[in-house]
Amino acid sequence: MKNTFGNNISVTLFGESHGEAIGAVLDGLPCGIKIDKAFIADCLSKRRPYGDISTSRKETDNFRILSGVNNSLTCGTPICIVIENGNVRSSDYDDTALLPRPSHADYTAFCKYGKEGVLPGGGHFSGRITAPIVAAGAIALSILKSKGILIGTHIKSIADKNDRDFSDIKEDILKLSDKQFGVLDDKTAEQMKQVIKDAKSDGDSVGGVLETAVYGLPAGIGEPWFDSLEGMLSHALFSIPGVKGIEFGLGFEIAKKRGSAVNDPFCIKDGKVSTLSNNSGGISGGISNGEAVIFRIAVKPTPTIFKEQKTVNLSDYTETVILPKGRHDPCIVHRARIVADSLTALTLIDMLFQKYGGEGLK
């Protein structure tokens, strides 16, 4: 099982949804970088469920840093972050352990690992494992912020309810940093929440789109071909459970237009090379061009729903139906926002390290 991402600075995940603990090991950071535990806790709070639009499973997400940090500074050795699971209820899955939930990882986990890989709540495949991603990502976000690089994600849409586009990107990112439900137009928040509540009351789920902006990333970050900036970001972001698509800049809409309409002409702005438009989403040839990096990810409806669905019994290969128990989100989009920020940050510090080295991060 591959649980490590990153070339120069890597993050390795461990733990299961209903196991004793989950966590991450962040390796490769140089010594002397300040670790802000309050900021890590704040980022984790943005991932935590709340109200009647999320799962009823409430975890405190209290974390411990077991190694790699001394007096709030990195030591240059691996940083191990552990988050204990407290509110587990494995018995919810006893009766359906070998009844794979449609569109969930249950069946593919069984195919790859056998019965040992079928664990309560999805085990290592669970969205619960995004908590240590956020804890490690908070460190990366803090490093980037110290370099003037800001990352922000808003809920572009829930079903057919849409937020406005990014406008003043720096100000919009700062505005999002104080929000639990991350929209740019506050009027759309209640509409989106109502869509989630309606799906929940029907025993169903709903998906949406997240849009991320990166402000202040210098030109020249990324590699041609296989380690392009889009490729590495996509690699990381597709690890978020439920993500089924990604597009940069104009995305698929760019295929409908002529080159004269979508090329980004160059100009000089404040003594620096800039572009008059940003249809490419801040990336050309797989390398950042100095404009804001803009991308969107599509998040599918949560696969575990409280409706009878057809499935099979893996113990005797007969057809049957499943009506899941447990505590599940009717929508994960609002909770996945900080996960997108975190994986973007982890990807970027890895690629910045490749260009500037450890001293550049300090």
**Range of lowest pLDDT (106-120, 306-320, 336-350):** 106-120
Q: What residues make up the domain containing 183? A: 4-361
Instruction: Supply the pLDDT for residue 248.
Output: 98
Mean pLDDT of the chain: 93
**What are the backbone dihedrals phi and psi of residue 191, each rounded to the nearest 5 degrees, phi first?**
-65, -45
Q: Determine the Cα–Cα distance for residues 41 and 33; give it in Å rounded to an integer.
A: 18
The gap between the terminal CA atoms of the chain, to the nearest Å, is 33
Q: How distant is the alpha carbon of residue 26 from its chain centre?
A: 16
* Contact criterion met (CB below 8 Å) for 132 and 81: yes
- pLDDT of 115 higher than 90: no
The pTM of this model reads 0.95
**pLDDT for position 317:** 95
- Mean pLDDT within 58-74: 94
Total of domains in the chain: 1
Who wins on pLDDT, 328 or 129?
Answer: 129
The whole-number pLDDT of residue 361 equals 75
The tens digit of pLDDT for each residue in 297-329 reads 999 999 999 999 999 999 999 999 998 877 789
pLDDT in tens, 167-225: 999 999 999 999 999 999 999 999 999 999 999 999 999 999 999 999 999 999 999 99
Task: Tell me what the mean pLDDT of segment 328-353 comes to.
Answer: 96
E strand or H helix at 46: helix 37-47
Supply the pLDDT for residue 220: 97
Q: pLDDT-based confidence at 337, cuts 50/70/90?
A: very high
- Asked whether the predicted pLDDT for residue 40 surpasses 80, the reply is yes
As a whole-number percent, the residues of the chain with pLDDT over 90 amount to 81
Q: Which residues on neighbouring strands pair with residue 38, listed in sequence order?
A: none
Burial string for 208-221 (b: 16+ CB within 10 Å, else e) reads bbbbbbbbbbeeeb
Provide the pLDDT for residue 88. 66
Confidence of residue 251 (pLDDT cuts 50, 70, 90): very high
CATH number of the structural domain spanning residue 327: 3.60.150.10
CA dihedral 85, 88, 90, 93 (to 10 degrees): -110
- Whether 36 shows a pLDDT value over 70: the answer reads yes
Q: What average pLDDT score do residues 276-296 get?
A: 98
Q: How far apart are CA 141 and CA 150, in angstroms?
A: 8
